[in-house]
Amino acid sequence: MNTTDHSLPFDLSRGGKPPSTELATQPFVGAAAALSVSIPHALGLGLVAFSPLAQQLPASTLALWSAAVPGALMTLWARGRGVVYAPSTAVALLFGGMMALVVQAGQAHGIGAGQALAITGLFAALGFFMQWLMARLGLAKLARFIPVSVTQGFSAGVGLSLVLGQLHGLLEASGYRWGDVLLWQAAVALAVTVLSVVLQRLWPRFPTLLLAVALVALASHLVVPSATLAMAAPATGFVLPVFPDWWGAPWWAVLDQYGFQLASLSLLMAVVNALEVTVFYQQLETEHGLRSPLERVLGREALIGMACAALGMIPASSSTSRSRTALSYTRAPTLRAGQWHALGLLLVAGTGHWWLNQVPMAVLMSALLVAGGRMVPRTMWSLQPGGLRKAAHVESWVVAWVFVGSSGAMALLAGLAVATVELLRASGSHAVRRMHLEGRLRSRHVRRAQIERWLAPRMRHVAVFELQGIVSFGVAALVVDQVRQHLQGQRCVILDASRVPSWDETGCLRLQALAHELHALGVAFVLCGVRGRAAAFMADLHLHQDLDRALEWAEDQLLQQCPPDVLLADPPMLVLDELGADMPSEARLALEAQIDLRTYPPGATILRQGERDRSLLLVQSGTVTLSTAEPPSTGMRLSVIGAGAVFGEMAFLNGIARTAYAHAGAAGTTVGTLDWERFQAWRQQHPEGAHAFITALAKMGIRRLGATSQELRAAME
């Protein structure tokens, strides 16, 4: 589709929200803000992941290199606007779990650090290979079915996990006892939080969290007793990343003991990381209008992650927490923030051995507390969300707490389950488009006036429910409940499903159960407008093509109780019936002599659309179907003309071409034809009779017009 022609005069001032460019020229600010999260995050997770190697290598330095190098490689080759690359919490913890299994299995063989990194890296690379395979199979397209409430809940879940994890760490550092250590830990956390908030109000365009961490770290050396707070890392010299020892690793010993467990962790790593990346890119598209092909993103990150894992490092990926932190300052997605962040982490990794031993761990953990709180979207803190936000608000918090309590995969399942239930509830509450319980709806079958007068009050025994939307298992259950609730003694229930695009098997079974229930109560159940496989599945019910035919069936059922003196097979006034009721006897007999009677077999064509035939047709027996096509089943049924009624009056009075097709009914029909020229000759001789004739014809037309107007009004409502 060509979208380069901008000369067309359309108003484009509304309908799209272009991303704001405010602060987009200051990516260094966003990078610094992201670093305030990355540094403590990398240290905390790295110390956990590489703790099995702590006796052989300085785990803190290894953690910093593992956070810096994979993120830098991602930044160079993945190049995602608005994206900051770093190892995620889930990947780092799973990497640490693999490392613990490998070291435990290789203890009997005296496994070294390089050998453990080689085996762990292989299984981590296997996980990212599975991610690449999922990308190639197009599974990322499933992200289109993830609700926004789930993506917001994911962000909140990551933030709350950071908060709870740091609270647990602060309590663990104090030995879970109330004392000086816990008080100083709490004081440091409170100081970082308050100072970052105050500085943010003073300098809203500056990454105040990093400044607050630096100031509190300096102040802690002056105020806090030296033995109270543990430092982030011990004093060490400069250490380069350790290259994996592929040749000397005890492969068979590890595979024999924990091969299945390691492969399972690899699969879990692929699923969780792909899920988190997918959700983040959906957020990026929703909030900033930046659309990226997910298959390409996941595949590219998987290839780089495999290379990093082969080097014995924790693979990096698109980081939700650091990307959102950077975007909160840059506003518009930009490549520069991620690039500055990568350079900053490389600088920290290269110089960390000089100053990390002077930074209290409590200060870094406090920074993660603040960052975690800011990860929760502001809309989720609203106490009284309105409209559509109310349901999404609940769904987001459900996803967030499930994320905290279990995992991202379980949070996705919980979010989809809650969203599905809410969607079914909302769909079910609107599945009944309209209810007609007063009996005003009538079919387009035109009958004699006395039959209509008898039938009209008895149509209150027919209840019509118009359905709309997809009738699935939950929606069908709510529809059945509404039918039961609103029945007021009616003897026939019609469900109009012409606006239902699809059904599922459970929905069909629900309606079949309703039909059986109503049948036991002596209430007829009619379903109309159902097509395709659903119609075949419910073939044992009363099915009709449309609502008009269903109403006609209900009217015919009621007319079985009509008294014989009202329901006559032949009109009492012979040919003219109502048209000659107020006409002088002489004039009526003279006009009837001008009418030609003709009998048609079932389905025979009486009139064709477009014909020039100026005559009036009076139905003597049987019925005539007016439709838009020939045969009638291929078009819309406009009306059914019964005995005593007329059709063709528009062409008769105005001389226009026929506007519809007319076919004889299923039992055949006898029709009287009155030619316009003969009528004119008769009118000259019987002017009073002609006046009565035209008046009666107008009354019949008004009655039909009233029924059409009522049907049109119902459709427009």
pLDDT digits (tens, 9 = 90+) for 187-237: 888 888 888 888 878 877 677 777 787 888 888 877 777 667 777 667 777
pLDDT of residue 182: 78
pLDDT digits (tens, 9 = 90+) for 463-507: 999 998 888 877 888 888 889 989 888 999 999 999 998 888 888
CATH 3.30.750.24 domain span(s) along the chain: 430-559
pLDDT of residue 319: 87
pLDDT band, very low/low/confident/very high, at 431 (cuts 50, 70, 90): confident
Which segment of 289-298, 569-578, 654-663 scores lowest on mean pLDDT? Answer: 569-578
pLDDT of residue 706: 66
Of residues 556, 505, 550, 558, the one with CA closest to residue 525 = 550
pLDDT of residue 2: 47
Q: Is residue 8 pLDDT above 60, yes or no?
A: no
Of residues 411, 515, 507, the one with CA closest to residue 467 = 507
pLDDT digits (tens, 9 = 90+) for 599-649: 999 999 999 999 988 899 999 888 999 998 888 878 888 889 988 889 998
Q: Is residue 77 pLDDT above 70, yes or no?
A: yes
Mean pLDDT for the stretch of residues 333-337: 87
Measured CA distances, 63 to 60, 77, 109 (Å): 5, 22, 25
- The answer to whether 193 and 365 are in contact (CB under 8 A) is no
pLDDT of residue 27: 82
In a 3-state reduction of DSSP, which class is residue 360?
A: strand
CATH 2.60.120.10 domain span(s) along the chain: 577-716
pLDDT of residue 570: 46
CATH code assigned to 577-716: 2.60.120.10
What type of residue sits at position 615?
Answer: S
pLDDT of residue 451: 86
Q: Is residue 272 pLDDT above 70, yes or no?
A: yes
- Category of 15 on φ-ψ map: left (φ > 0), alpha (ψ -120 to 50) or beta: left
pTM greater than 0.85: no
pLDDT digits (tens, 9 = 90+) for 122-162: 999 999 999 999 888 887 666 666 677 777 777 777 778 77
pLDDT band, very low/low/confident/very high, at 3 (cuts 50, 70, 90): very low
Q: Is residue 550 pLDDT above 90, yes or no?
A: yes
More confident of the two residues 1 and 87 = 87
Residue 133 neighbours by CB distance under 10 Å:
14
Question: What is the CATH superfamily name and number for domain 430-559?
Answer: STAS domain (3.30.750.24)
HSE-CB at 508 with a 13 A cutoff on CA atoms is 17
Structure-derived torsion over alpha carbons of residues 442, 444, 450, 455, reported in degrees to the nearest 10: -30
- The mean of the pLDDT values for the chain is 82
Close Cβ partners of 227 (under 8 Å, ≥ 6 residues apart): none
